Amino acid sequence: MKNFILLPILIYLHLNTTNIFAQADTTHKYQDDIVFMLEKYFAEVDKKNIDGMFEYFAWPMPLTTHHNQGKVYFMKSREDFDEVFNLWKESPSSNFHRTELERVIVTEIFKDNLFWNVADVIYSRYNDDNKFLTKQRVTYYIRKTPKKGLLGLFKKWIWDWKIYMISNIEMEE
């Protein structure tokens, strides 16, 4: 009699766990690679290292940034980049010590083209005493670009993820 009651319960549990574990993986194929690149980029941002930050952008493609004040910056050259980011470096916006990525969701921009993506990022900023300062939501438009040098010419799979546009998004309450 116990087996008669136990059998339907086991079948029910088996079917439900199979259904749960059989669901499709919705993680973007390059999620980990893009998050790793963003972590390295934010390490340079935290150091206010403009030369280090410059390496994470998709040059010679122009860089577009749009920040909270509504001003859009369109940078076509290293000089443009230095001008904008040196202003940022001297502004109150750079008064933080550390950035912590809280959430990164990567989505392809064009269906079946994994080389053009957007990373929807929520991060928090902290001061020297590890006191919370601010939380922001920003989209980073990212594309895969060939690595520089001879090796990049011979192996198409040797590519770097580079940022070509940054846009702040208002946080939902």
> 3-class secondary structure for 106-134?
EEEEECCEEEEEEEEEEEEEECCCCCEEE
Rounded distance, CA 30 to CA 155, Å?
A: 18
Rounded distance, CA 123 to CA 135, Å?
A: 6
| DSSP state for residue 26 in the 8-state scheme | -
Rounded distance, CA 60 to CA 77, Å?
A: 8
Rounded distance, CA 127 to CA 70, Å?
A: 25
pTM, rounded to two decimals = 0.77
- Confidence class for position 8, pLDDT limits 50, 70, 90: low
Q: What digits encode the pLDDT tens for the residues 26-37?
A: 466 788 999 999
